[in-house]
């Protein structure tokens, strides 16, 4: 992959240089962009896109807002409800049924995600869920915590591969995503995971394109947020209290509820702090203040036009009616401006609406020449695609909520 990435960056740098040289004589809407010193600086520093760093984004990073990729007029933010650890389908059906039914009341579908360990490929309930709009994603077969606890990387990869291949064997299932086990309770996520497991293919040639194993924490440092949403009455941060500091937890970023890329081969959907386990660890199970805080997190996500990804479990930490109350809150306060999606639907919309049908990984699981970066320094992510199928530059216009497309910047 690295050779392809480096050749792409070199090609792109040459293209930027040529565009800067020819922009003076061309009458296009992109002249100010191509002439800008900001663009030149971005071109000179493009090598940062090669980093496999799950924690590179934060409050001051350019954002990829929901209107940039959702492809649906009037929708400004999105929610992914994602429940972990599926093995016993009956247990999950009993827990999820009120949640699924409430989601279907909105628009006839149950857009949410289940991450699975050892599901039975011929389980009828899985087919029922898939038909309702649920996506079934990977979570390893052994659920080792931490995932890379053993020095035998081959054994760790085999566990990952077995789960991915198992999910691909389920009829009608098209898995795209993964979650690292115990990513909410310990520092189980790492650059090594992305480089040595996620970024490879399985023995069957399968691979994924999306992960959700890093958490985002809303803090009072964000000036765009009302203080009552991010602060306790005594001035403490509302969401920092859930961080399990007794475990030295650092698997997080701050104030960035947007999809972002890791290593140019993975979309990361950061989970919101707290998960149900974080809340249980802080103030025991079923606490009503957990629901209030998560409702505030939904409102914050709506303000920031971001993606609210909830991590929860059917293990006695949060009740299903409390999840339903989160859905009720989102619908009542944000109506048609908020959309409930699964991992698969987020992936599909990123590919179709943001990347014009070009996946972040090609059919072999390799670099597909897709780069997400802020070309003009306006605080919004832009897109450059350069592969054998498509060569295009896409610059977001936040005033008009639309993309400005131009040919790949080579004269």
Mean pLDDT over all residues of the chain?
90
Question: From the CB of residue 182, how many other CB atoms can be counted at a distance below 10 Å?
Answer: 19
Distance CA 60, CA 262 (A): 17
At 143 the pLDDT is 86
pLDDT at residue 8 above 60? no
Instruction: Provide the 8-state DSSP code for 242.
Output: G
Distance CA 154, CA 32 (A): 50
**Domain limits of the chain?**
2-46+369-407, 66-347
Q: What is the pLDDT of residues 311-353, one digit of tens each?
A: 999 999 999 999 999 999 999 999 999 999 999 999 999 999 9
At 30 the pLDDT is 52
pLDDT at residue 79 above 50? yes
Distance CA 137, CA 116 (A): 6
At 145 the pLDDT is 86
Q: Number of C-alpha atoms within 13 angstroms, CB side, residue 153?
A: 8
pLDDT at residue 7 above 70? no
CA torsion 356→360→363→368, rounded to 10°? 90
At 254 the pLDDT is 98
* Model-wide pTM > 0.85: yes
pLDDT at residue 25 above 50? no
What is the torsional sign of CA 230, 232, 233, 235?
negative
Tokens of 26: 């061309």
pLDDT at residue 15 above 60? no
**pLDDT (mean) for 261-286:** 98
Cα–Cα nearest to 341, from 25, 33, 72, 122 = 72
The CATH label, of 3.90.1170.40, 3.20.20.370, 3.90.1150.10, 3.30.70.890, for the domain at 66-347 is 3.20.20.370
pLDDT at residue 2 above 80? no
Helix residue ranges per DSSP H, 183-269:
191-193, 227-230
Distance CA 381, CA 49 (A): 13
pLDDT > 70 in the chain, percent: 86
Q: What is the pLDDT of residues 275-314, one digit of tens each?
A: 999 999 999 999 999 999 999 999 999 999 999 999 999 9
If residue 281 lies in a helix (H) or strand (E), which one and from where to where?
helix 276-283
pLDDT at residue 20 above 80? no
Q: What is the pLDDT of residues 134-170, one digit of tens each?
A: 999 999 998 888 887 666 889 999 999 999 999 999 9
At 23 the pLDDT is 41
Name the burial class of residue 23, with classes exposed (0-12), middle (13-18) and buried (19+) by CB atoms within 10 angstroms of its CB: buried
């Amino acid at each position: 992959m690295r050779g392809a990435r480096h050749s792409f960056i070199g090609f792109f740098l040459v293209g930027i240089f040529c565009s800067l040289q020819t922009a003076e004589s061309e009458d296009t809407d992109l002249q100010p962009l191509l002439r800008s010193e900001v663009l030149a600086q971005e071109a000179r520093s493009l090598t940062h896109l090669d980093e496999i760093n799950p924690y590179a984004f934060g409050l001051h990073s350019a954002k990829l807002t929901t209107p940039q990729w959702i492809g649906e007029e009037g929708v400004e933010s999105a929610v992914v409800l994602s429940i972990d650890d599926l093995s016993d389908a009956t247990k999950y059906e009993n827990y999820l049924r009120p949640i699924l039914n409430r989601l279907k009341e909105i628009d006839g579908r149950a857009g949410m995600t289940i991450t699975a360990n050892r599901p039975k490929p011929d389980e009828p309930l899985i087919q029922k869920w898939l038909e309702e709009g649920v996506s079934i994603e990977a979570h390893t077969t052994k659920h080792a915590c931490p995932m890379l606890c053993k020095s035998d990387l081959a054994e760790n990869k085999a566990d990952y591969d077995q789960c991915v291949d198992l999910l691909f064997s389920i009829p009608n299932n098209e898995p795209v995503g993964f979650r690292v086990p115990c990513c909410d309770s310990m520092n189980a996520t790492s650059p090594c995971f992305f480089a040595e497991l996620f970024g490879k293919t399985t023995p069957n040639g399968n691979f994924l394109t999306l992960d959700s194993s890093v958490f985002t924490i809303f803090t009072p440092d964000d000036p765009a947020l009302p203080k009552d949403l991010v602060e306790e009455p005594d001035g403490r941060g509302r969401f920092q209290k859930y961080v399990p500091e007794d475990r030295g937890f650092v698997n997080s970023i701050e104030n960035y509820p947007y999809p972002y890329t890791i290593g140019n081969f993975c979309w990361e959907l950061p989970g919101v702090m707290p998960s149900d386990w974080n809340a249980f660890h802080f103030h025991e199970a079923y606490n009503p203040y957990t629901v209030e805080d998560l409702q505030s997190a939904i409102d914050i996500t709506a303000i920031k036009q971001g993606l609210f990804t909830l991590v929860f479990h059917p293990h006695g930490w949060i009740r299903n009616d409390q999840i339903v109350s989160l859905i009720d809150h989102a619908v009542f306060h944000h109506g048609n401006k908020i959309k409930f999606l699964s991992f698969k639907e987020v992936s599909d919309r990123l590919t179709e609406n943001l990347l014009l049908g070009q996946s972040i990984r090609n059919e072999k699981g390799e670099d597909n020449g897709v780069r997400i970066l802020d070309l003009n320094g306006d605080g919004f992510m832009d897109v450059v695609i350069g592969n054998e199928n498509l060569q295009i530059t896409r610059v977001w216009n936040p005033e008009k909520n639309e993309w400005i497309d131009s040919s790949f910047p080579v004269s």
